[in-house]
Structure 1
Amino acid sequence: MSVNKKIKARYAEIAQFLGLRFNEEYCVVYGEKDGFTLRISGLDNGRGIEYGMVCVSVGVSENGVKLEQDKQFRKEHKGVMGIVQEKHTVRMTLKQCKNMEKLKGVLQDSLPAFLDMLKLEGFTNGCELCGEAKETGAAYVAGNSICLCDECYDKVSENAAAYTANEKNKKENLVGGVVGALVGSLLGVASIILLSQMGYVAALSGVIMAVCALKGYELLGGKLTKKGIIISVVIMIIMTYVGDRLDWGIMIARELEVDVFYGYRLVPLLLSEEIIDATSYVGNLVLVYAFLLLGAIPTIRNAMRRDKVAGTICKLH
């Protein structure tokens, strides 16, 4: 798991401040507090020194209790955005803080009150998976931290091992992957034309092109390998050019009252005759390619990270 040093430093500082543990390898703050096993996430969601959507998650045994968002609690603790129960997890989300000291102040005020409220509501510590009132420990499972009992941890470990074995045995369907990338890229071409004709910035469709082509390859190819990424990128580059030129072809066809395909073929001639401004043409194409990168890079990164962590499971100590 690749996390920059600044984000790790944030987690380490919060862990020390609250008297919790910090696992540097997986960048997780966790520990026991007032009878609950809890974990803290969201310090890597902010921009610059702003921390957004910091969450304190607690595994609970609900004992038939259903917790609604507590308006009175949020009224008394201004730094809290909301409290939500999701199955066997109760999560307190904090409002965005401008700096670390303010975040510490919000946690110092709200965390003890949050845990006290859970006790008053009838909750006890429990496993986030099965919801039973058992001794739990923090674990790292497929890219996420979670509080599990020993029985659920063993089950999850078995499932992770089976998933890893299945992925290794799964064969890549190259032809299917190419077809999927082409179909996805056609959706990208359609978005280039549609957004442009509607008067929006067509460059935004570069993101759609990247996501659809890569997801298309993965869907019909079985999995997204390095070979699949290269093939998809080549298809994206070609189809982005085709889509942008087709967009110009439609505008030319409308102006000259000719068919679209003839308008498409006229683009090079009109550029050479300077009827189409070359700067505008190239600038728009570069912008679309820039947005293509904007969509492709995180999609590729997430796909590679997902494959890397999908079979990863360990107890945090």
Structure 2
Amino acid sequence: MNKTLNVIYEEVAEVTGLSIDERTETLIGVCNGYHLTIGLKDNVYVMYASARKNGSLPDKEFTKEARKAIEGVRSVTIQGNNIAVWIAGASKNKVIANMIAAINGATEYFRANGYEDVCECCGKPMDSINVYNISGGISFLCEDCYAKINQSLKEAQFDEENTEENVLGGIFGALCGSIVGAIVIVIVAQLGYVAVLSCIVMGVTTIYGYEKLGKKLSGKGVAISALVMIAMVFVAEVVQWNIVFSREIGIDFFDGLSIFGTFLGDGEIKTDFIISLMESYAFTALGAIPTIYSSLKKKRVAYDVYQMQ
């Protein structure tokens, strides 16, 4: 947790009685009888609450009026089964003031309009509601719903651990994904645009293809996908350069391909080709590395289940 975030949370926690959860970098707790969490999303602080009236979530009219009535907020929305209150403010002091105002104002507004603190899963008001981390996300659950979700995740984890990686399927998926990426690279290049995004597409689609048909992404899968990407980026580069070369000298594509090696015999052209190829590899890595990281991170927390408060 960075210093600024920690300072903001500490000051808000001192006033409101909420607690700082270092692991998820959020504020959690109960204020005015409502379970709340506050976290940073897209550089905006968002407060979440699970509150319903007669078992129903608020409608658009409620959220519109709530935004006007609650001090220190920029918007109020419904996300899944929770109410999300987006807190205004750019400077540290303004964020702190608005966060405190939003916590008190929102909970008072909920109560004044007949909204109860409920389990976000079953929608019922319960004395046993707690804040849980479910697969990396925060949920407000009663004990019964938590037990059901916990059991379901244990069964899913057992199934996943006993599912063998389908390497052949993964290779086929990676090839299919890389072909899509290669086509995008060639088309974008022919349109005269820089191929940054198209190479990123190559990285994403190849990894996705392996994981989708291989059932899981292991270190072996990452290595295979990397080899497929290296080969297909090279193929895409040869194809797009050969299209230009064939057009320049007035021959068809396949005739050009048969003498492409001679074309690269020119030292200056060969240097330009290698530079272009290296750039494509670098841009492909920009797509592949975050995709791999996201997949492994998701896998790491997929079955994490614990009570936060």
TM-score by length of 2: 0.89
Greater mean deviation of Cα atoms: 253-262 or 187-196: 253-262
In structure 1, the partner of 2:203 is 210
State the SS of the aligned residue for 1:132.
Answer: coil
Output the CA distance in 2 between the equivalents of 1:23 and 1:238: 45
Give the fraction of aligned pairs with identical amino acids, expressed as a percent. 28
Preserved contact between residue 15 and residue 22 of structure 1 (Cα < 8 Å): no
In structure 1, the partner of 2:17 is 19
In structure 1, the partner of 2:278 is 286
State the SS of the aligned residue for 2:183.
Answer: helix
Output the CA distance in 2 between the equivalents of 1:312 and 1:262: 57
In structure 2, the partner of 1:301 is 293
Greater mean deviation of Cα atoms: 177-186 or 301-310: 301-310
Output the CA distance in 1 between the equivalents of 2:279 and 2:53: 52
Cα-to-partner distance string for 1:51-77 (whole Å, 9 max, x where unaligned): x23211101233145331644544566
Output the CA distance in 1 between the equivalents of 2:279 and 2:66: 47
In structure 1, the partner of 2:263 is 270
How many correspondences in the alignment?
A: 305
Amino acid at match of 1:201: V
Query: After superposition, where does 1:158-237 map in structure 2 within 5 Å?
Result: 158-237=151-230
Output the CA distance in 2 between the equivalents of 1:178 and 1:21: 47
Where has structure 1 moved over 6 Å in runs of 4 or more?
none
Preserved contact between residue 51 and residue 57 of structure 2 (Cα < 8 Å): no
Greater mean deviation of Cα atoms: 111-120 or 207-216: 111-120
Preserved contact between residue 28 and residue 39 of structure 1 (Cα < 8 Å): yes
- Structural RMSD (CA): 2.4
| Superposed displacement of residue 14, structure 1 | 6.0
State the SS of the aligned residue for 1:272.
Answer: coil
Amino acid at match of 2:165: E
Match of 2:49 among 53, 58, 65: 58
Q: CA separation of 1:9/1:272 partners in 2, compared to 1, >3 Å: closer, same or farther?
A: farther
**1:9 maps onto 2:6 in alignment:** yes
Match of 1:118 among 110, 135, 152: 110
| Structure 1: unaligned runs, 5 residues or longer | 46-51
| Superposed displacement of residue 162, structure 1 | 0.4
Q: CA separation of 1:65/1:225 partners in 2, compared to 1, >3 Å: closer, same or farther?
A: closer
Output the CA distance in 2 between the equivalents of 1:40 and 1:116: 17
Cα-to-partner distance string for 1:179-236 (whole Å, 9 max, x where unaligned): 1001100011011011112222112112111111111111111111111011101111
Greater mean deviation of Cα atoms: 5-14 or 128-137: 5-14
**1:93 maps onto 2:86 in alignment:** yes
Cα-to-partner distance string for 1:279-308 (whole Å, 9 max, x where unaligned): 4x3333232222211111111111111111
Output the CA distance in 2 between the equivalents of 1:235 and 1:116: 57
Output the CA distance in 1 between the equivalents of 2:71 and 2:248: 59
Amino acid at match of 1:88: N
State the SS of the aligned residue for 1:255.
Answer: helix
Q: CA separation of 1:309/1:87 partners in 2, compared to 1, >3 Å: closer, same or farther?
A: closer
Output the CA distance in 2 between the equivalents of 1:11 and 1:301: 29
Preserved contact between residue 52 and residue 58 of structure 2 (Cα < 8 Å): no
**1:150 maps onto 2:147 in alignment:** no
Output the CA distance in 2 between the equivalents of 1:105 and 1:11: 10
Output the CA distance in 2 between the equivalents of 1:203 and 1:31: 44
| Structure 2: unaligned runs, 5 residues or longer | none
Match of 1:109 among 97, 101, 112: 101
Amino acid at match of 1:163: A
Cα-to-partner distance string for 1:146-175 (whole Å, 9 max, x where unaligned): 111111110111011101100111011111
Greater mean deviation of Cα atoms: 208-217 or 259-268: 259-268
TM-score by length of 1: 0.87
| Superposed displacement of residue 87, structure 1 | 4.9
**1:30 maps onto 2:28 in alignment:** yes
Output the CA distance in 1 between the equivalents of 2:105 and 2:207: 46
Match of 2:307 among 296, 309, 315: 315
Q: CA separation of 1:110/1:285 partners in 2, compared to 1, >3 Å: closer, same or farther?
A: same
